[in-house]
Structure 1
Amino acid sequence: MKNREIIRTSLAIYLPSLLVQLGASLTMSFNVLWSRDLGAGVAMIGLIAAGNGIGSLLFDLPGGWIGGKIREKPFMIAAVGGLVLTGIFKAAATRPWQLLGIGIFMGMCVSAWGIGRLAYIRKNIPRRYRGRTLAFMGGIMRVARIATPALGGLIIQFLGFRVLYGVQAFLFASALVLLLVMMKDGSYLESGQAPAASVLKETFAKNGRNIVAAMIGIGGLQLLRISRNLIFPLWADSIGMSALLIGGFTSAGGMVETAMVVPAGITLDRAGRKWAAVPCTLGFALSMALMPLALTPAALAGVYLLMSLSNGLGSGINMTISSDLAPKNAAAEFLGIWRFVTDTSRLTGPLIAGSVAAAVSLPAAPLTAASAGLISAAVLLFAMDEPGRKRQMPARNRQKPSRNMDAPGRSRQMPGRDEQRPGRINQEPGQKNQSPTSPD
């Protein structure tokens, strides 16, 4: 594939992804406030906040199956079209239960969008460029999360919640237009090609240990990432930091992670996926383990810097490893299974951290997360092979050249047992060798 074609294919994904992420991040911090204004109680607010995760988890497996039956482009168009509807419906909502239903539906659309996007990249971007492509995708997500919350707050302050969700619908609609215009069609299941179930069965039979190890390792990393959103603010508040300072730390950390996008992509493609995944998970776990020792804002700043550097090194690692392991002829189905595992980790992470903090103590929560991270790093290091690279044949099994083939002046073929040698005649077994000139 030519570089120009790779750039065009990447832009067809990058630009819609940027607009989708801008739309999602614009309202992420304000969904709870909108549900409160509509009269939701504390329990209902919690359900609404979990709606996206519930919808995504419910749709991961069926979404992978559906995505494998149709082309990637119409699948992504349907997903982003659904996101447009969620923005419109949220702007028009009048009851909290409506927001819950919309949130679940939005999670289903996000799942479909993620599966279709990765399946498209898996089929259209060569492996040697895939790490940089997906690391940059992770950078797009981080930039959107830094830029849009402040804009969302300004819109609410001067125009209200309904305008905010109207702007979100507009951003999603713009992404939909770009998909229609820029993205080339994918491919249907070719005639004579094995069905997806057979391909998946063969993939897990041949590479099951590696896939399970990768799922455990990346699932642990996802648990660390989502737990940070709960543990860091609670710990910062416990040592007396203000909300303004906590927000400043979060924004600065996002900038550090964004700056790590290019080194992360180069590491993924040139050194290998494990060289990014293992240091990322190990550094993240170490920073979690150090958090109970950070008793001043300055000390916590150092811990959070290490955490951000580590997480930035893993930019795009989840998408890259999953697309590497996905079989080309059943990519969507495989990615649906992968998302189900990682989404389960994302849902359970805050539950585990919150339960440990409530039942034991707040310092025990980051230590528990750190333990999970260390286990994940060990699994990635020792149990997972480098994804997408074939194992080298052991030296003892490699065919060595024959000594006769290497020696100059010698015949390349050993004489057979029954071949006539100079000065001898063929004889029956048991007879003595006779010279052709010897008398009878």
Structure 2
Amino acid sequence: MSKAADPQDFNLWSIAIPAFGPSLLFGIGEGAILPVIPLSARDMGSSLAGAALVVSLIGIGSLVSNIPASIITAKFGERLGMLGASALSLVAMLICVFCHNLWAFGAGVFLIGVASAVFHLARQSYLTEAVPPLMRARAMSTLGGVGRIGLFAGPFIGALLIHLVGLPGAYWVAAVAVTAAGVVAWWLPDLVNADGAAPAGPKVTVVSLLATHRKVFLTVGIGVLLVSSVRSSRQVVVPLWADNLGLNPAVTSLIYGLSGAIDMLVFYPAGKVMDKKGRIAVAVPSMVLMGVSLLLMPLTTGAFSLLLVALLIGFGNGIGSGLIMTLGADYSPRNGRAQFLGIWRFMADAGGSSGPAILAGLTAAVTLPFGIAATGLLGLGAAAMLGYSIPRNRPVSR
């Protein structure tokens, strides 16, 4: 049994493999299957709209499971939460491989989202306990960055096996990856308080946490919701605008990939800045950069100008790696931490789900440039909300 970290003798790299390894592997699994889920649905006879709905089941599964996942993590602990999530994800992958009915396949995809919610909640809760507050942002940024690396590498690994055995190969890659994530998580040291006792104080519930921390949820929490909305929209606007400009798919993929590469390169320096200069030093610039980039995108006229804007978006998103998790960890109380983080992740996922929907609605009602520009304004709104809220709700180091 391991105690929570002492800032004087803590070394982040001492927990690198058990803490970040499962996230890398889980990210590889998710990355391997995300591009092929709509293709699998189409092979089972789904329409284009139906295939898009099947893909959305991952997000829906995660959204509705965040708060139940927090209760599970609070009851059984972070380590068992990650183990259970890996097992559930493995079952879901096998359903996707062996069930050729569209409804069963959809159920498997939904379970992947459920498992993802439990896994991500448990790993965030674990790091919040394991890492001292003075190094928290670096830990959370690394956690987010490692997950992005996995999502980036997953499609390439999946493509290799798809070439050999067809679409099921991607799910087998994911099955192996999530199983390995569970094996690595098995070696995570359990965390206890210094005295080995449960946190002091009355028993907390989701309702009591909502009431006690309503000011945080209505200020920083709204900012987090807007951040997630802009982040999820950015994944859609680049390919949509590239198509609007008449760029071929290969060029579009290259632009998207280079934007993602910039995104992955800056996560650790950003975390260090947050630890040294404060959360606001990264939160506001990140969202200002993304907001301005999205406002500039409708002004681009070709591949080069779109690439410059996409790189700026990637940089803005990259320096915000781990921001939402760091803020959630900062404001989470020692007693009821898992439940608080469940609410926090629910708000973030709600924003992530609403972003593309808002973009689609504005595009259908007005035009694509108007929808992209409106998303940019959401980014500036997120910067304003976080800039206003964070200094006035300074978290206590817990």
TM-score of Structure 1 vs Structure 2, range by shorter chain: over 0.9
Secondary structure of 2:270's counterpart equals helix
- 1:67 paired residue among 61, 73, 90: 73
CA distance, structure 1, for counterparts of residue 205 and residue 156 of structure 2: 46
- One-letter amino acid of the counterpart of residue 203, structure 2: P
Do the aligned residues in 1 keep the contact of 2:157 with 2:173 (CA within 8 Å)?
A: no
Q: Is 1:286–2:292 an aligned residue pair?
A: yes
- For residue 6 of structure 1, report the CA deviation from its aligned partner: 4.1
Shift of 1:143: 1.6
Q: 1:386 to 1:323 in 2, by over 3 A?
A: farther
C-alpha displacement of 1:388: 5.4
- Which residue in the other structure is 2:189 paired with? 184
- What letter matches 1:279 in structure 2? P
Distance 1:330 1:390 in 2: 15
Find the counterpart in structure 1 of residue 17 from structure 2.
11
Please state how far the C-alpha of 1:373 moved relative to its aligned partner: 1.3
Unaligned 5+ runs, structure 2: 1-5
Return the alpha-carbon distance in structure 1 between the equivalents of residues 32 and 209 of structure 2. 42
CA, structure 1 residues 97+131, in 2 after alignment: closer, same or farther (shift >3 Å)?
same
Label 1:191 to 1:204 Cα distance change in 2 as closer, same or farther (>3 A): closer
Aligned equivalents of 1:167, 1:298: Cα separation in 2: 35
Structure-2 residue corresponding to 1:221: 227
Alpha carbons 2:87, 2:182 under 8 Å: kept: yes
Given that 2:36 and 2:170 are in contact with CA atoms closer than 8 Å, whether structure 1 keeps it comes out as no
Give, in angstroms, the shift of residue 138 of structure 1: 1.7
Q: 1:379 aligns with which of 385, 390, 398?
A: 385
Q: Which residue of 2 aligns with 1:421?
A: none
Q: Which has more radius of gyration?
A: 1
Cα distance, 1:245–1:4 mapped onto 2, change above 3 Å: same
Deviation at residue 153 of structure 1 after TM alignment: 2.2
**Partner residue, 1:408:** none
Shift of 1:186: 3.3
Q: Does 1:36 align with 2:46?
A: no
Map residues 67-216 of structure 1 onto 2, 5 A cutoff.
67-180=73-186, 182-187=187-192, 190=198, 193-197=201-205, 201=208, 205=212, 208-216=214-222
Partner residue in 1 for 2:3: none
Matched ranges for 1:305-324 at <5 A: 305-324=311-330
Question: In 2, are the aligned partners of 1:222 and 1:345 still within 8 Å (CA)?
Answer: yes
Distance 1:99 1:164 in 2: 14
Give the structure 1 partner of residue 255 of structure 2.
Answer: 249
**1:238 is aligned to 2:244:** yes
Q: Would the aligned equivalents of 1:321 and 1:387 in 2 still touch at CA under 8 Å?
A: no
Does residue 54 (structure 1) correspond to residue 60 (structure 2)? The answer is yes
Tell me the CA shift for residue 381 of structure 1.
0.7
Instruction: Pick which of 237-246 and 66-75 moved more.
Output: 66-75
SS at match of 1:383: helix
Q: Tell me, in whole angstroms, the C-alpha distance in 1 between the residues paired with 2:244 and 2:168.
A: 35
The alignment partner of 1:69 has SS state of helix
Amino acid corresponding to residue 195 of structure 1 in structure 2: K
Among all aligned residue pairs of Structure 1 and Structure 2, give the percentage whose two residues are the same amino acid. Answer: 27
C-alpha contact 2:140 2:326 (8 A) present in aligned 1? yes
Structure 2: distance between partners of 1:337 and 1:362: 33
Q: For residues 163 and 45 of structure 1, what CA distance do their matches in structure 2 show?
A: 19
8 Å CA contact 1:79–1:113 kept in 2: the answer is: yes
CA distance in 1, matches of 2:394, 2:276: 13
Conservation of the 8 A alpha-carbon contact between 1:35 and 1:96: yes
Contact 1:289 1:370 in 2 (8 A): yes
Which residue of 336, 339, 362 maps to 2:368?
362
- Asked if structure 2 preserves the Cα contact closer than 8 Å seen for 1:44 and 1:96, the reply is no
Q: Shift in Å at residue 386 of structure 1?
A: 6.9
CA shift at 1:212, angstroms? Answer: 2.3
Relative distance call for 1:230 and 1:192 in structure 2 (3 A) is: closer
Deviation by residue 1:167-190 (Cα, 9 ceiling, x = unmatched): 21111111111111x201234972
TM-score, normalised relative to structure 2: 0.92
Q: Given the superposition, is the C-alpha separation of residues 236 and 88 from structure 1 closer, same or farther in structure 2, using an over 3 Å criterion?
A: same
Residue 345 of structure 1 is matched in structure 2 by: 351
Q: Deviations over 1:98-121 (max 9, x none)?
A: 111111111111111111111111
Task: For structure 1, list consecutive stretches of 5 or more residues without a partner in the other structure.
Answer: 392-440
- Tell me how far 1:192 sits from its aligned partner: 5.5
CA contact (8 A) 1:214 1:384 kept: yes
Contact 2:291 2:379 in 1 (8 A): yes
Q: Write the distance in 2 (CA, Å) between the matches of 1:28 and 1:359.
A: 29
Q: For the residues of structure 2 that align with 1:313 and 1:337, how far apart are their CA atoms?
A: 24
Write the deviation string for residues 152-209 of structure 1: whole angstroms up to 9, x where unpaired: 22321221122321221111111111111x20123497286421239x747854x543
Structure 2 vs 1, CA of residues 306 and 332 (structure 1 numbering), >3 Å: closer, same or farther?
same
Letter in 2 for 1:368: A
Q: Residues of 2 paired with 1:252 and 1:4: CA distance? A: 35
- Distance across 2 between alignment mates of 1:285 and 1:123: 33
One-letter amino acid of the structure 1 residue matched with residue 362 of structure 2: V
Q: What is the CA–CA distance in structure 2 between the aligned matches of 1:149 and 1:387, rounded to whole Å?
A: 40
- 3-state DSSP class of the match of 1:195? coil
Q: Which amino acid aligns with 1:306?
A: L
- Structure 1 Cα separation of the partners of residues 61 and 387 of structure 2: 33
